Amino acid sequence: MIIEYQAINKSGTIVADTLSAENLSQAQAELSRRGLTPVRINPRGKTVFGKGGILNLPAWLSGPFSSTAPAEAKKASRNEVAFFTSQLAIMLETGTPVAASLEAIEKQFASAKNKRHWCVLVGQMHQHVEEGGTLASATAQYPKVFDPIYTSMISAGESTGNLTKILNRLADVSRQSDRLRHKLISAMIYPVLLSIICLVVTIVLTFFVLPRFADIFVEMKVTLPRTTKTMLAISALVRQNMLIAVVLISAVTGSIVFWLRSQRGRRFIARTSLKIPIIGELITSLIIARILRMLGLLVESSVPLLESLKLTINSTRHYLYCHLIGEMHESVLQGQSMHEVMSHSRLVPPSIAQMVQTGENNGKIGRVMTMLADYLDDRNEIRISTMTSIMEPVILIFMGLIVGTLVISLVLPLFDLSRIS
């Protein structure tokens, strides 16, 4: 059958091609003979009714009929990937072979609740390694769980004999990234809850409380303040045209969401987010820290610099920084340095570019980038805590102004009623 594959050659470049083999084990042996490290191996077509059968299906349809087809893995959390990586690193550090380590982890997941998908996944990885495949080619079969950077680092670790060290690094990075993400989410929970409460209170007062007072004000012929008249007018307008208001709000919201998902909308958000005071600096620092950490880990794991830059581009979502890394790749390809591109860009602080230059001059660019990422992550955690402590009172004041305005709009006419009585 025809096998489609992606592999890493001796120069560290990913190549994609096809070859003819009877099974996956023969294909892996052929790739090893050619000096290629498999990253992804997929049969183009599989025979359902045995060799020479009458029905030949493409790989994406033949999965249910093949015992060797990878399980449909759902996207895993960073904690799960970090746990698997840590367990595998511990097993290998004690001298246990890769296949035996995967078998032990499979049994561990089998006894855990809600880990059935991991048990199946690790079991198929174990079978793949038992058949002669590499750990990198096994992880490459599950791109929703193990991204290309993870697979490339595993491949580099297997090639250099530093697999245990690289697995420990990957586990540390997964935990660090997960901790920072949870800190961001925790910092936003309180402001979001306050905003929701403010919105609910405003809706209840405007559309349920104010209309009931409106009849009393009209009956008593009270002179209403301008704020009260405005609130009553808005409430009456929306209640009388509720269907039109719902359709209009839905159309506007849908249009905004559609535009934000478009390329032009994403680029607008990407540019604008970096210009917001305080928040823009935090976003810039978070993106740079992630880029430096990925590059540092890949280079320290013996992945060639050009390949490291390509992988970093694919894992970076901000288009401005993707363009910057692309320029760095072209600069290195032409025999120049990365810091020259970084020093001429407004996206990178001068101090970061200077430190990268020092790392390039000393031949320790990977270590320098990892240290810079550690420093930026520590500073980002402090910034997030500071920003949260500032946002909470600001949102409370804003909420008080809105609700206070509505309450005053109700209370002022009541004072006039007391004078009349």
Per-residue pLDDT at 59: 36
> Using CA atoms, how far apart are residues 286 and 377, in angstroms rounded to an integer?
7
* DSSP β-bridge partners for residue 5: 17, 41
Average pLDDT of the residues in 130-149:
84
3-state secondary structure of 304: coil
User: Which of 67-71, 164-168, 223-227, 247-251 is least confident?
Assistant: 67-71
CB 320 within 8 A of CB 314: no
Highest-scoring range by mean pLDDT, 44-53, 155-164, 211-220, 323-332: 323-332
Q: What is the pLDDT of residue 419?
A: 60
Residue ranges and CATH numbers for the domains of the chain are 69-174 (1.20.81.30), 189-421 (1.20.81.30)
Q: What percent of the chain shows pLDDT beyond 90?
A: 7
- Residue 299 to residues 292, 318, 368, 401, Cα–Cα distance (Å): 10, 22, 11, 53
41 bridge partner residues: 5
Say what the pLDDT of residue 35 is: 73
Residue 162: alpha-carbon gap to chain centroid: 27
Q: What is the pLDDT of residues 358-397, one digit of tens each?
A: 988 888 888 999 999 999 988 988 888 888 888 878 888 8
Name, in order, each residue with C-beta under 8 angstroms of 29's C-beta and a sequence gap of 6 or more. 132
Of the given ranges (33-37, 85-89, 280-284, 318-322), which has the lowest mean pLDDT? 33-37
Report d(CA 52, CA 222) in Å as an integer.
Answer: 93
Q: How far apart are CA 173 and CA 179, in angstroms?
A: 10
- At 70, the pLDDT band (50, 70, 90 cuts) reads very low
Give me the pLDDT at residue 375, please.
92
Buried b (16+ CB within 10 A) or exposed e, 140-159: bbbeebbebbbbbbbbbbbb
Give the pLDDT mean for 330-358.
89
Structure tokens belonging to residue 109: 């997941």
Checking if the pLDDT of 63 tops 50, the result is: no
